[in-house]
């Protein structure tokens, strides 16, 4: 875990703790998004999320067994009743997971989700914009790994975020976890490195292989299925991810003799979208001041993303529904960011689309990401906002941890903090299932969604918010 202090426009400390497994979140050297031609909001009739079901509590977690949210201890205890906000958020989450499913960045599935979100926000009475932008997207479909002597020769692959495009072919050498003692004495010049996932960050594994002379890297999973690996900066050689089963089959083939591998990483230019809903503030006393409530709605490939990040998207929708009839002294923008999983691209595009005056007018950005699994709600960000969040949590009776998170990566609030905008991220500390097929509905704790929504609502309505950030 790590925390970093960064200066901002009011010269106060900014406490940023970053979350490793938010794939996009790894601020890699992904090309800057470029605005695309604006498109109209679809005229889809708003579809209300289905009624909230009985809350589903996790049956297991990598954090150890989580205590259920109950009124009294014991295996027969009854779960504590959910707040109305928790029920609303969980209803949205269930719809996102079960009806919309995986929403891979810059795909038709992501666009369908954007249209659904736009219709919901329009139905609540907000002015809504679909904000398109183009990205260069590494393509699993166009990329490939071919292994001579293996059936089938071509395997399913996922390029690591921040891998360069390119092709390479050479002898394959297994180097275990890529620890210093795992490399052959003669180096890897002209070779393709086969690496096992685990222990060492992806960036370090690939950089070590490149430094030893490798021309490409293939990392195989340490649990079933494939995965979306992330490097925070561009690597020197093409890098692919494959499944545990394929990696073990290749290892077995290597025991029989020399193996040749051909690696290809290719990209396409695609369009992604942010969904931006605006609630104007009342009067002119606060000038052009605004607050952004945001979270990304895209997922990694083939994962419905119950926690990452249907949970955050659902909370933003629940807050939009709760605040629809309220009068606030500042403008509120509810934003669902696209292509976060490719490197925070949606929030990057949104922030860069603002004028200096518009950036200066944002008094706070609340980011909601992977907040549905863990022991309690968590917040990280600017010291002033953290302190205010803890005060409000105490007033409304919510258990909240401050700081925390895991090393590496980040989330959409990072792009706001870079231009001096105060930020607060809402999360929960169990990231063990994100970016895996286990990121499912049954591992989401509805009460955590309610805690994040209740706390954010208390902050939005608190007169101390403007005072703390003045």
As to burial, measured by CB atoms within 10 angstroms (0-12 exposed, 13-18 middle, 19+ buried), residue 395 is: exposed
**Would you give the DSSP letter of residue 274?**
E
Q: How far apart are the C-alpha atoms of 84 and 92, rounded to whole Å?
A: 13
Q: How far apart are the C-alpha atoms of 266 and 255, rounded to whole Å?
A: 30
Give residue 172's Cα distance to chain centre. Answer: 33
Q: How far apart are the C-alpha atoms of 333 and 349, rounded to whole Å?
A: 15
Q: Which residues pair with 370 in a beta bridge?
A: none
**Which of 110, 270, 322, 340 does the annotation list as catalytic?**
340
Output the CA–CA distances (angstroms, integers) from residue 111 to 114, 394, 430, in the order listed. 5, 39, 28
User: CB under 8 Å to 71, separation ≥6 — which residues?
Assistant: 77, 78, 80
Has 340 been annotated as catalytic?
yes
- Please check whether residue 108 is in contact with residue 272, taking contact to mean a CB–CB distance below 8 angstroms: no
Omega before 152 within 30 of 0, i.e. cis: yes
Output the CA–CA distances (angstroms, integers) from residue 83 to 355, 434, 450, 454, 468, in the order listed. 39, 25, 6, 9, 28
- Please check whether residue 340 is in contact with residue 24, taking contact to mean a CB–CB distance below 8 angstroms: yes
- Please check whether residue 389 is in contact with residue 314, taking contact to mean a CB–CB distance below 8 angstroms: no
Q: Of the candidates 119, 72, 56, 117, which has an alpha carbon nearest to the alpha carbon of residue 92? A: 117
Q: Of the candidates 30, 6, 29, which has an alpha carbon nearest to the alpha carbon of residue 17? A: 6
- DSSP E strands in 148-238: the ranges are 154-155, 158-159, 166-174, 192-196, 216-220
Tell how strand 154-155 and strand 158-159 pair up.
Answer: unpaired
Q: What's the token pair of residue 246?
A: 């394929």
**70 CB neighbour count, 10 Å cutoff:** 14
Which residue reads 């930020």 in tokens?
A: 423
Q: How far apart are the C-alpha atoms of 326 and 15, rounded to whole Å?
A: 31
Q: Which residues are catalytic?
A: 340
């Amino acid at each position: 875990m790590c925390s970093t202090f960064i200066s901002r426009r009011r010269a106060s400390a900014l406490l940023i703790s970053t979350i490793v497994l938010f794939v996009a979140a790894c601020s890699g050297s992904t090309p800057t998004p470029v605005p695309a031609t604006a498109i109209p909001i679809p005229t889809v009739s708003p579809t209300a999320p289905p009624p909230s079901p009985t809350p589903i509590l996790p049956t297991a977690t990598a954090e150890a067994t989580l205590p259920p949210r109950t009124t009294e201890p014991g295996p027969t205890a009854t779960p504590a009743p959910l707040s109305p906000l928790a029920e609303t958020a969980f209803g949205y989450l269930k719809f996102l997971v079960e009806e919309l499913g995986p929403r891979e960045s810059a795909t038709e599935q992501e666009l369908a989700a954007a249209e659904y979100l736009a219709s919901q926000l329009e139905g609540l009475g907000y002015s809504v914009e679909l904000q398109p932008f183009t990205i260069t997207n590494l393509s699993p479909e166009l990329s490939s790994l071919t292994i001579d002597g293996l059936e089938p020769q071509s395997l399913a692959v996922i390029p690591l975020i921040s891998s360069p495009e390119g092709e390479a072919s050479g002898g394959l050498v297994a180097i275990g976890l890529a620890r210093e003692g795992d490399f052959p004495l003669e180096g890897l010049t002209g070779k393709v490195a086969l690496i096992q996932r685990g222990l060492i960050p992806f960036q370090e594994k690939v950089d070590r292989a490149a430094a030893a002379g490798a021309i490409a890297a293939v990392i195989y999973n340490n649990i079933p299925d494939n995965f979306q690996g992330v490097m925070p900066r561009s690597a020197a050689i093409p890098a692919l991810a494959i499944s545990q089963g394929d990696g073990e089959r290749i290892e077995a083939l290597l025991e029989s003799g020399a193996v040749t591998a051909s690696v290809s990483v290719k990209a396409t230019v695609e369009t992604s979208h942010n969904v931006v809903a605006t609630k104007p503030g009342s009067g002119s006393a606060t000038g052009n001041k605004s607050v952004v409530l945001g979270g990304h709605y895209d997922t990694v490939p083939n994962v419905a993303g119950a926690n990452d990040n249907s949970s955050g998207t659902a909370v933003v929708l629940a807050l939009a529904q709760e605040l629809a009839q309220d009068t606030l002294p500042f403008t509120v923008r509810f934003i669902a960011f696209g292509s976060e999983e490719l490197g925070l691209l949606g929030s990057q595009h949104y922030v860069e689309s603002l004028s200096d005056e518009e950036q200066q007018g944002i008094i706070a950005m609340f980011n909601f990401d992977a907040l549905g699994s863990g022991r309690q709600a968590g917040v990280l960000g600017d010291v002033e906002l953290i302190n205010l969040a803890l005060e409000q949590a105490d007033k409304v009776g919510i258990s909240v941890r401050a700081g925390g998170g895991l090393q590496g990566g980040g989330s959409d609030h990072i792009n706001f903090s870079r231009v001096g905008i105060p930020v607060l991220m809402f999360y929960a500390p169990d990231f063990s299932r994100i970016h895996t097929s286990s990121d499912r509905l049954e591992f989401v704790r509805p009460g955590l969604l309610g805690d994040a929504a209740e706390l954010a609502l208390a902050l939005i309505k608190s007169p101390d918010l403007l005072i703390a950030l003045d």
